[in-house]
A and B are shown apart, each in its own frame.
Chain A
Amino acid sequence: MKNKIVTIALSAAMGLMATTAMAGTLEDVVAKGYVQCGVTTGVAGFALPDADNNWAGLDVDYCKALASAIFNDPDAVRYTPLNSSERFAAMSSGEVDLLSRVTTWTMSRDTQLGMNFTGTMFYDGQGFMVRKDSGITSPSELSGAAVCIQTGTTTELNAADYFAANNLEYNPVVFVDRDEVVKAYQDGRCDVYTTDASGLAANRSGFADPSAHVILDEIISKEPLAPVVRQGDDTWFNIARWTYFALVNAEELGITSANVDEMLGSDNPSVKRLLGVEGDFGASLGLSKDWAYQIVKNVGNYGEIFERNVGVNTPLALERGVNALWTNGGLQYAPPIR
C-alpha cells in the first residue's frame, strides 16, 4: 500500500516536471503536440480571458497562427501567463517555447539575454495621457507632474530618460501591475499616465468618461513589440519569423480567412507560392506545404487579427496608423516568398 502511494506520488510529481532538449524546439513541440506560449497576465487587446474564459488577443492570435502552421490546429497551444519579471527566465529555462507578450525589442535584450526577436507584430511608442481639464497639450508642460508608470518595463526607463533629457522634474508613482497603474491614474493619484500608446487607448476606452482624457500626440520612444524565441535554434526562429511574414503577406495579397479557399485557384504566382499551390516552401521550414494556407484559414491575415483584437470596432478603437501595410503608408512589410 505504502509503496503504491509513493509510486503514484512520484509519478504525479514527475508529471509536473518536464525535460526539454534545448536543441530542437520544433521536434519537441511536435512530440508534445502543442506550443507552449508565454503571454501577459492580462492586457486588454493583447492577451486577456474572453467571455468564455479562453485567452484572446493579438499576442494570443500570433500563438494560434504558429500552432496552425505546425499542427493545422489553432488550439494546439498552451498559454503560460508570465509577469514582466519572469518572462525571460521562463524563456531561458525552456518553460515556454515562445514569448508573445508585448515585449519591446531592444538591443540589450536581443544581444545579452540569449533571445531572438522574430518581427514586429505591433509598432508602438510610449505616449502620455492627461485629463482634458488640465489643459496640457505637450509633454514639455509636464514639469512637476506625478506620473503613473508600470515598473520592470522599458516604460519606466524611457520616462526617466525623457524627463532628464528635457530637464523636467517629475514624480514617478510605480506599480507592478498594469491595472493598478490605471486605477491610480483614474483615481487622480497622478496627473499623467504613461505607457505604450496602444495601452493608453485600451485603458481610456475602459474609463467611465473617456472623453475627459486626452492622449498627447508626442511619442517619446519607439516600442516595437515582437515575439521572442531562444537564440541558437534557427529552425524554430525561422518558423516563428515566417509565421509573422505569412500573416503580413496574406494581407498584402488580399487573402483573408473568408476567401482563402477561392484564392487557391488564383492565377497570381505570389498567392500560389504563399498558399503552397506552387513550389514547396513549407518544407524548408520543416512544415507542410500548405502551412501558410492553414494560418490564414484558421486565424486570418494580419489585418484581420488587428481589427479583431484592437481595431476601431473593438473597445480599444485603435487606428492602423504605423501598423498599416507599407503599401498604405505604414510600417508592416514582409519579404516576398520565393
Chain B
Amino acid sequence: MADLRNNHNLAPKPSFFNDPKVRSIFYQLVVMAIIIAFVYVVATNTAANLAAQNKSTGFDFFLQPASFDINFTLIPFDRTSYYWEAFVVGMLNTLLVSVIGVIFATLLGFMLGIARLSNNWIIAKLAMVYVEIIRNVPLLLQLFFWYTVVLKAMPGVKNSFEWFGGFVLNNRGFSFPKPMPDETFNLVFIAFFIAVIGAFALKYWARKRLEQTGNRFPVFWASIGLLIAFPVVVWLISGANLAFETPELKGFNYKGGLTLPSEFLALLFGLIIYTTAFIAEIVRSGIVAVDKGQTEAAQSLGLKDGDRLRLVIIPQAMRVIIPPLTSQFLNLTKNSSLAAAIGYPDLVSVFMQTTLNQTGRAVEIVFITMMVYLTLSLITSVFMNWYNARVAMVER
C-alpha cells in the first residue's frame, strides 16, 4: 500500500498553468469578475438614468392610496385602499385561479390521458384531436378566443339562467348564494372535523378487515356518505338555521350572494383546457411506461379494469408522471399571468400594470413581482419533491 501511495506522489506534477485546480479557480474568478462588473454597470446606469429622469425610487408607494377600483377581490378593497392592499388582492387572485386550475386540470388531465389509451376508437380519437389542437395553439390566443366565446354564449343579465332560485349564470359571471353562518353553525364544522377523523378510522378498519377476511368494504362511498351525512344531521339537530344571501336582480345586475366574474371563468376555463392537454400527454406516457407485464399480471389476478388502473398501473405510472406534472402545475401558475390580457385582476394585471403605471416604480415593482413567482415556484417544487419521495420506488 505504502508503495502505491509513493508511486502516486512520484507522478509528474503538472505545471502551474496546467494544474486543473489552478485553472478551475482562475475560470471561476473570471466568471465572478464578469458578473460583478455586469451588475455594477447595470446598477450605475440605472441610477444615472433614474437621476436623469428625475424619478423617485423606493418602496414607500406601498403606503399610498391606490385610488383605483378592482372588480374581483377576496379581501375588502376600494379606491381609498393602499397599494399594498392592491398587491395582496392581486396575489390572492393569482393563487385562487392557480389552485382551482391545478385541481381541475389534474382531474381532467388524468381522465383524458386514460381516454387516449381507451379501447374505444371514438373516445381515443376524440381525446387525440383535443390534445393535438389545444397543445399547438398559443395560450394567449386561446384566452382571447374563449373570452369572446364565453361572452357570446352566455345570456345577458335580463335573460340569465337561474337554478334553484339562487344560482345565476349570465355573461357577467356566475352568482350563487352566500352562506351567512351564525354561532350554532360552528357545531357543523366540528361535526365535519369528526367525520374526517371517522373516515380515516374507517379506512384503517377496512384495510384490517380486508387483510383478515378478504372481504372488501366500500370505503370510498362510505366515507363520502359519512362526510356529508354527519354534518347535515348535526345541522338539522342544531336547528337547521343557516341563512343564505341569495343574488337578486336589482337594477343593472344581480346583487348579493357571491359572484365569480366572467373574466375569472374564462381564464380558469382557458387555463384548465390548455393544461389538461399537457397533463393528458404526461399521464399517457406515464401509463405507457409501465411494463405491459404488469397489466397482464393484474389481469391474471382477476382484477377488474378500474382496480387494475387504480391499484397497479397508476401507482407505478406516478413515478414517471410526478416530475413533469410538477412543471405543468408551475406552468399553469405562471400562465395565469396572461390574465392581464382578458381583464382578470391577477398579480401582473393589478400590480405590474396598473400600479406600475400610476407610480412609475418600474424596478421595484418588477422585482417584487418576480420574487412572488419565484417563491410560489419554490414552494410548489418543495411540496412535489416531498410527494415524489413518498411515491418513489422502494427498492429491495
Do chains A and B make direct contact within the complex (CB under 8 angstroms)? yes
Q: Is B293 an interface residue (CB 8 A)?
A: no
Residues in A with CB closer than 8 Å to B252 are: 134, 142-146, 191
Q: Is B24 an interface residue (CB 8 A)?
A: no
Contact check, A151 vs B349: say whether CB atoms are below 8 A apart.
yes
Contact check, B354 vs A180: say whether CB atoms are below 8 A apart.
no
Q: Is B67 an interface residue (CB 8 A)?
A: yes
Contact check, B343 vs A180: say whether CB atoms are below 8 A apart.
yes
Which residue from chain A places its CB closest to the CB of B152 in the assembled complex?
Answer: A187
B225-268 Cβ-contact flags toward A at 8 Å (1 or 0): 00000000000000000000000001111010000011100000
Known: A145-B252, A180-B342. 14 other contacts (CB 8 A): A22-B52, A144-B255, A152-B354, A152-B357, A157-B67, A157-B68, A163-B69, A172-B68, A172-B69, A173-B261, A174-B71, A175-B342, A176-B341, A188-B171
Residues in A with CB closer than 8 Å to B68 are: 156-157, 160, 172
Residues in B with CB closer than 8 Å to A134 are: 252
Determine the distance from Cα of A173 to Cα of B345 in the docked complex, in whole angstroms: 9
Q: Is A132 an interface residue (CB 8 A)?
A: no
Interface of chain A residues 172 through 198 with chain B (CB within 8 A): 172-177, 180, 183-184, 187-189, 191
Residues in B with CB closer than 8 Å to A176 are: 340-341, 343, 349, 353
Determine the distance from Cα of A128 to Cα of B94 in the docked complex, in whole angstroms: 31
Q: Is B156 an interface residue (CB 8 A)?
A: yes
Contact check, B67 vs A160: say whether CB atoms are below 8 A apart.
yes
Sample (13) of A-B pairs whose CB atoms are under 8 Å apart: A112-B54, A114-B54, A144-B250, A146-B253, A151-B349, A151-B354, A156-B354, A164-B79, A174-B349, A180-B147, A187-B151, A189-B172, A189-B262
Interface of chain B residues 77 through 130 with chain A (CB within 8 A): 79
Contact check, B151 vs A184: say whether CB atoms are below 8 A apart.
yes
One of A67-75, A85-93, A245-253, A257-265 at the interface: A85-93
Contact check, A189 vs B251: say whether CB atoms are below 8 A apart.
no
Q: Is A140 an interface residue (CB 8 A)?
A: no
A295: min CB distance to chain B, Å:
31
A interface: dominant SS = mixed
Q: Is A170 an interface residue (CB 8 A)?
A: yes
Contact check, A173 vs B71: say whether CB atoms are below 8 A apart.
yes
Most buried by A among B49, B71, B345: B71
Contact check, B148 vs A144: say whether CB atoms are below 8 A apart.
no
Residues in A with CB closer than 8 Å to B147 are: 180, 184
Given A92-B53, A144-B250: A171 touches B71 (CB 8 Å cut-off) = yes
Which residue from chain B places its CB closest to the CB of A131 in the assembled complex?
Answer: B156
Residues in A with CB closer than 8 Å to B35 are: none
Q: Is B134 an interface residue (CB 8 A)?
A: no
B137-170 Cβ-contact flags toward A at 8 Å (1 or 0): 0000000100110011000110000000000000
Q: How many A-B residue pairs have CB under 8 A?
A: 100
Q: Is A84 an interface residue (CB 8 A)?
A: yes
A37: min CB distance to chain B, Å:
20
What count of chain B residues pass the 8 Å CB interface test?
40
Contact check, B253 vs A171: say whether CB atoms are below 8 A apart.
yes
Given A85-B353, A114-B54: A170 touches B69 (CB 8 Å cut-off) = yes
Closest A-B pairs by Cβ, 5 of them: A187-B151, A152-B357, A175-B343, A92-B53, A145-B252
Determine the distance from Cα of A191 to Cα of B251 in the docked complex, in whole angstroms: 11
What count of chain A residues pass the 8 Å CB interface test?
40
A176: min CB distance to chain B, Å:
6
Determine the distance from Cα of A174 to Cα of B71 in the docked complex, in whole angstroms: 8
Contact check, B357 vs A173: say whether CB atoms are below 8 A apart.
no
A38: min CB distance to chain B, Å:
16
B192-210 Cβ-contact flags toward A at 8 Å (1 or 0): 0000000000000000000
A266: min CB distance to chain B, Å:
46
Given A114-B54, A176-B341, A188-B156: A160 touches B356 (CB 8 Å cut-off) = no
Residues in B with CB closer than 8 Å to A187 are: 148, 151-152, 171
Determine the distance from Cα of A32 to Cα of B250 in the docked complex, in whole angstroms: 61
Q: Is B70 an interface residue (CB 8 A)?
A: yes
Q: Is B362 an interface residue (CB 8 A)?
A: yes
Residues in A with CB closer than 8 Å to B54 are: 112, 114
Given A171-B71, A172-B69, A187-B171: A160 touches B79 (CB 8 Å cut-off) = yes
B342-358 Cβ-contact flags toward A at 8 Å (1 or 0): 11010001000110111
Determine the distance from Cα of A180 to Cα of B171 in the docked complex, in whole angstroms: 15
Determine the distance from Cα of A188 to Cα of B152 in the docked complex, in whole angstroms: 8
Determine the distance from Cα of A183 to Cα of B68 in the docked complex, in whole angstroms: 22
Which residue from chain A places its CB closest to the CB of B151 in the assembled complex?
Answer: A187
Contact check, A189 vs B341: say whether CB atoms are below 8 A apart.
no
Interface of chain B residues 338 through 396 with chain A (CB within 8 A): 340-343, 345, 349, 353-354, 356-358, 360, 362
Determine the distance from Cα of A142 to Cα of B251 in the docked complex, in whole angstroms: 9
Most buried by A among B52, B68, B171, B255: B68
B68: min CB distance to chain A, Å:
5
Given A85-B356, A151-B357, A191-B252: A173 touches B67 (CB 8 Å cut-off) = no
